Every structure is written in structure tokens, then in C-alpha cells.
Amino acid sequence: MKFGKDFKKQMVPEWIEAYMDYNGLKKILRDIRRARQSKGPPTPSRLSHQQSMLYTTFSGLNPRPNSVHQSKGDIEDQVIDVSTTQQEGSTKLYNTKFLKSNEEGGDTEVTFFNKLDYELNKVNIFYKDKVEEVMKEATELNKQMEALIALRIKVKKPDIAKSNSEAVKLTSPGREKIPVNKATASTQGSAISGEDYGTRHGKMADSAIHQETELEVLDRVKMNNAIEDSIITIRGLLNDSKGKELNFNKEELRKAEERLKIVFIEFYRKLRLLKQYSFMNLLAFSKIMKKYEKIASRNASRSYMKIVDSSYLGSSEEVACLLDRVEDAFIKYFSRLNRREGMKSLRPKFRKEKHRVTFFSGFFFGCAIALLVAAILLIEARKVLDKEQQAKYMDNIYPLYSFYAYIVLHMLFYSASIYFWRRYKVNYAFIFGFKQGTELGYREVFLLSTGLAVLVLSTFLVHLHIKMDSKTEHYETYVDLIPLGLACVVLLITICPFNFMYKSSRFFLIRCFFRCICAPLCTITLADFFLADHLTSQVQALRSFEFYTCFYGWGKYVKGESKCHELDVYNVFYFIVAIIPYWIRFLQCVRRLFEEKEPVHAVNGFRYFLTIVAVAIRTAFELKKGTTWKVLAFISSIVAIVFNTYWDIFVDWGLMQKRSKNSFLRDKLLVSHKSVYFAAMVVDMILRFAWLQLVLKFNVIALRGDAITSLCSCLEILRRNIWSFFRLENEHVNNVGKYRAFKLVPLPFYYYDDEKDD
């Protein structure tokens, strides 16, 4: 693999603009090559000099003491002169003067070195800012570790609670404090090589006064409310306190240890990415200078790389030292000195692409297509839709199986979204907050969707064949239980606690769904409102689930008659089920308005309120009919559609911006073809207005009763997944603009000042 491709592959997606512009410099080098080719082959003098170098005396491999000083003037031949300037409190800025600009084509080389200096200064400034951030975080982690170890002693060794606790220091060379006695040292699992207990005891005597007050840190510490899954208690609603008092119990200690362990893992990942950032940029400068030497036939690489190596990017050792100290601290305090297990937890985890996933995806897809064709042929061969009684059967059985059809279709579109997110480098795993290495790729989602399709279609064929066979009439009561059994199997697989079939992703989905239900009580993450938005496109699936309850709850499976709409309770819940997803989003907007105090959330909540009104009126028209309800449904739907379409394009997608360098779009676009964005806006608008078919009842195509509603639902699922791609692209672009590449993990302890808090 060429370095340019590998360099792009190794980039942190949110830091792309902070990396050295390797391709931009290569373009300038191509201009230099074209300029030199237009001049013809090298001059005889230079050519003869290059050939004569082949016959010079071999100087040996061992370096000579004065070789470095000799190479500065003789070898480099004074092609460039680099000067530095430094503003107060900032990094050094480098300025390279090309000494042979008067030669033909020298202007292009001047441009090259100006661009090179700009990239070096940019990388240095960014890297120094990030290092300063991690140093501040390390200082905060020091305080967190002091509180944790003090709490550990208080809980596990209350008899020595007045003794000194051992703490880790991440930012100072002497990062370990000496334990007060063997019992304390044994409790913390410390091991200090090269010193016996007597030596350590002598050192402790010099700081006895400090040791007596070490555990007083607990007097200024509270437990952070954020570690309780962000659920606001009644006390939290009435009192705006940031934490609660310590109870000094084992459960409290366990939660603090788990949370701080996650913080260390995320901090270590940040340090690794910073180290990788430094290494890849240094390598990029080296590669580009070698290309310059090859193209320009000038020896400037060594001089410039000395400047790069002496810059903050090349000379800073803070990140490397922090990496070592974090490893030592994590192994010591969270892995019981088991280095193998500690490093296994710290190192990043990557999902491996498995060939069997690709194989079974294709296998299940082929089976699903074959079963779908078989189902269609069987319905046509048995003339199911032409017989009155069997038509009633299809009216009953269709909602039972259409529930899975909506889910399978949504999963297929979601797998396509993941494919395009990966193709255009959208960091969806970070945006959604997946645990590293557990996010599903498009192959895994496609496998799950096709597997579910095979299971549902197989069950449907068996059900239909047995139902239509006159020899099995006495089993009719039990045959109608097949869809219910299928639903139970799917539900059991979803909530199964055993580690198979992507347990982490299943439970991530369950947690997001639970937080959606508890919308006003939980802090809202992007994954939560993303799922709730997708639920708004599954109203028909939710109504099918309601039909399950009616069909089996009132014993309708015995007679096979469709009488659900004759029940008042069913019609009431027919309204409620359609409104639930929009009501969840409305409550999420209210919660975000309460937390962030931004008016945009109030406007967004009003948008969902308008949608709730439109859905309620449209449902009333569907059940009661009448001209009045039709007019009201039409007006409310138009208002909601226009408002929602505007929000999709201008807010969620961030398009149609004024003064953008891309006309009617936004400045940063991941898809190179701008026509894709305009096409997406038009499609989103058309699919939004497709719902008016349910109100106006245009006879565009001859479809049975619920077929039009199902078609509109499928189109809405398609529209939602198109929306998903551009919504996440906009989120990723905003993260890139603010260089947000790490999730914020709440710390377990909250430090406070008694006087200020009072």
C-alpha cells in the first residue's frame, strides 16, 4: 500500500483537517516535476557530478565525531535556511527561505516550502493544544485516584482509616507515594522494587504530618450523580446539587472503580491516538522531503527534518511518558498487577471481518428471495385472495406478518446506511457511543436481516400451507398460534442474556429503547433520539403489534375473524400507538431544553407537537371518515409536512446555508457529487408528501385496503434511512469542525469547596 493511502487510512476521522496536507504538497511537487521536464534532462555538469559520486572513496559505516558538522554545509549545499519565531506562550513558528529562488522554476519550490512551513506550524499548534488538554486531564485523574484510594481504605480497612493512602501521580516524575505500612501496601497491591520495608518506613517518617491528613480528601468529595445512568431523582429535580454524600459502602466503591476504569481506558485511547498522530505526521514530513529530493535533485531533506525533529511535534515526550504511567497505574490499581489482563483492557479492540458472515449473508439472501417467490406463487395457485373466507384470513394474517416485513426492510436499509457511512469515513461508532470493537458492520446487519427474513417467510409458508389444507382443519386452533410462537422466539433471542448473536449490540438497543420510554427522566444522547426518530417511521409496525394483542388477547384466533376495529378499546389504542413515537421525541426535546437551555429544542418540540396533532386528526379521519375530518387532516398534514421538511433540510442536514462556498449546501461535504444532496432534498420532500395519499385517496394504482398504507410505510422507512445518512454526516462534520474525537465519560467523584458551596 502506498504511503498516501495508508496515511489517509490511519487518520483520526475528526482530526483530518489537523493532519499535514500530504496530497496538497504532492500536487506542488508534480508542478515542480513538470517544470523540470520542460527544461529537458539534467545539465552535464550535474550529471557528471552524480556519476563521479559512484567512484569516491568509501568512508566506512562507523560514524565519525565531526561528520554531523561536516554534512551541514557540504552535503546539503545550503538549499534552504529555516528561521524560527516564537510568540509569548505559544509554539515556535517556522519560516523557510529557499536560497535558489532565482533559478528557473524556483517560484514553485518557494511555494512548496511556504506550504510545508504552514503545515508544520499547523500540526505543531494542534498537537501542543491536545497535549496540554491531556495534561490537565491527567491532573484531574490524579485527584480522582486520590479519592478512590482513600475510599478504598475507608471501606476495606476502616481500622487504619487514619493512616495514609497510596496515590498515583500521572504528571510528576515521582508519581508514587509510599504506603504507611505493610498492611496498606498489601491492600493496594503495591510493589516497590529495590527497597525493603525498613527503608520505606524511614522515608515515611519525614512526611508523618502529611500522612495523618491524607484521608481528609474524602471531606471534600461527593459522588457524581452522572454515574447513576443519568436518571434524575426527585431530589435532583428539587435540588441542583452536582453530587451526593459518600456512604462509604462496598457498592459505592464498586461503582466508582468501574467508572474510573472506563475513564482510564478512554484516556489511554486518547494518548495512543495522539502518539499515532505525532508518528504519522513525522513520517509524512520525511516522505514528502524524500520525494522533493528525488524530483528537484536537491539535498534539503536532512536540514529540514532536523527542524521537524526539534519541533514540539518531534521532541515532546509528554505523551509517551503519560502512556507508560497510565499503563503502570491501571495494571497496579485495576488489574491486581496482572499486566496481561491490564493491557488487554487498555488496548483498542477491533472487529474482525469474518468470511462466514459474508457467506451466510449471501446464503440467507438467496433463501429469502426463493421463499418470497414461493409464497407469491402459493397465494396465486390457491386463489387465496379470490375466496371470501380466505380473503378474511389474509386480512387477519397480513398484519401478523407485515410486522416483521417492516423490521426486515428497516434493517436492510440500515445496513446500506452503514455501508455508506464507512465509505465516506463517517465515524458512526463514536457518534452513537458504541463500545469499541462491538459496533456492527453492514455485513452483520445484513446477515441479521436476511436471517430474520428466512425465519419469517418459512413460518408464513408453513402456516399458509397448513391453513389451506382441508385435511388439517381439526388443527386450525393450534395453527393460528404459529405467528405468536414466532414472535416469542424473536423476543427471546433479542433479550437473551447469553453471549451469542451480538449480545453487546442487542443490549445497547434495549438500553436505548428503555431510555426512550423514560425520556423525561434520562439524559438524552444522540443514539436515544436517533432511535426515537426511527420509531416514528414504524407506526404501522407498532399498530401490527397492537393487532397481535387484540387477535390473541380476545381469542380472535379461534374464529379467525377480524373484529378488532369493532372494539372501542382497540380504536382508542389505535390513536395512542400512532402518537407514542412522536410523544417520546417531544419529551426528549423538553428534557434537552431543560438541560441545555437552548431555544432550538423548544422549536423542535413544537414541531413534534404539530406532528402529533396531524397524526391524531389523520387517524380520526381513517376511522370516522367524513368531509370535515378530511379537510382537517389535509390542513394539519400539510402544516406538519412543510415544517418537518424544512427542519430536515436546514437543521438536521445543515444544508441550504447562506454564504456557503457550495451553493445552497454547506461548506463541508463528504460526498463529492453535489447533485446527490439536491436529489436527496427532492426525494425527502416527495416522500414526505406521499402520506397525503392516505387522506386524499388518489386512485393511482389498484391496491387492496391496507396495501396503500403499507406502501406508504415502506416509503417512509426509505425516507428515514436517507435522512439518517445525511443527519449523521452533518453530525460528523460538526465533530470534525470542533475536533471532537472522544466521548466524555463522567468522573466518579465531584470535588467541592465548602465555603463556595455554602
CA distance 537 to 523: 23
Q: Which residues of 129-147 are buried (b: 16+ CB within 10 A; e: fewer)?
A: ebbeebeebbeebbbbbbb
- Taking the C-alpha atoms of residue 46 and residue 298, their distance in angstroms, rounded to an integer, is 11
Who's near 427: CB < 8 A, 6+ residues apart? 13, 14, 732, 735, 741
What are phi and psi for residue 224, nearest 5 degrees? -70, 130
Query: What distance in Å separates the CA atoms of residue 214 and residue 146, rounded to the nearest whole number?
Result: 9
**What pLDDT sits at residue 233?**
41
Residue with cell string 413460518: 459
CA 167 to chain centre: 34
Reported as type and span, the H/E element at residue 147 is: helix 106-156
Alpha helices in 40-105 (DSSP H): 44-52, 67-73
Query: Apex CA 159: angle with CA 157 and CA 162, to 5°?
Result: 95
Alpha carbon distance 457, 668 (integer Å)? 44
Task: Tell me how far CA of residue 551 lies from CA of 296, 561, 623, in angstroms.
Answer: 80, 9, 19
Closest CA to 728 of 670, 689, 680: 670
DSSP-derived secondary structure for 503-516: HHHHHHHHHHHHHH
Q: Which three cell numbers stand for residue 138?
A: 491527567
Q: Which of 16, 739, 13 lies closest to 428 in space, CA to CA?
A: 13
Distances 48 to 42, 45, 78 between C-alpha atoms, Å:
10, 5, 20
Element (H, E) at 330: helix 318-334
Looking at residue 76, what is its pLDDT?
A: 44
Cα-to-chain-centroid distance, residue 378: 45
Cell of 723: 435522512
- The answer to whether 336 and 423 have CB atoms below 8 angstroms apart is no
CB 278 within 8 A of CB 319: yes
pLDDT score, position 393: 64
Q: Which of 626, 605, 541, 533 is nearest to 578 (CA)?
A: 541
Q: How far is Cα 255 from Cα 746, in angstroms, rounded to an integer?
A: 12
**For the CA atoms of the chain, what is the radius of gyration?**
34
- Partners of residue 81 on adjacent β-strands: 97
State the cell numbers at 210.
502529611
Reading the block at residue 703, the C-alpha cell is 391496491
Show the CA angle centred on residue 141, arms to residues 262 and 264, nearest 5°.
25
Show the beta-strand stretches assigned E in 307-351.
none
What is the structure's pLDDT at 83?
82
pLDDT confidence of residue 650: 93
Instruction: Convert the pLDDT of each residue in 458-489 to its tens digit.
Output: 999 888 888 776 665 566 667 778 888 898 99
Alpha helical stretches, state H, 157-233: 182-188, 197-205, 208-212
Q: Where are the domains of the chain?
A: 355-737
SS3 of residue 560 by DSSP: coil
Please report where in the chains the cell 387522506 appears, as a residue. Answer: 695
DSSP assignment of 479-542, as one string? Answer: HTTHHHHHHHHHHHHHH--SS-SSHHHHHHHHHHHHHHHTGGGBPPPHHHHHHHHHHTT-HHHH
Phi-psi region of 172 (alpha: psi -120 to 50; beta: other; left: phi over 0): beta
Q: 742 with 268: CB under 8 angstroms? A: no
pTM (predicted TM-score):
0.80
d(CA 662, CA 684): 20
Helix (H, G, I), strand (E, B) or coil at 224: strand
Cβ atoms 218, 154 nearer than 8 A: yes
Structural contact between residues 728 and 421, judged by C-beta atoms closer than 8 angstroms: yes
Distance separating alpha carbons of residues 260 and 255, to the nearest angstrom: 9
Burial of 85 (0-12, 13-18, 19+ CB in 10 A): exposed
Residues of the chain short of pLDDT 70, as ranges, are 1, 39-77, 87-89, 104-105, 158-215, 225-245, 247, 384-395, 469-477, 555-563, 694-706, 753-758
Contacts of 4 (CB under 8 A, 6+ apart): 22, 23, 26
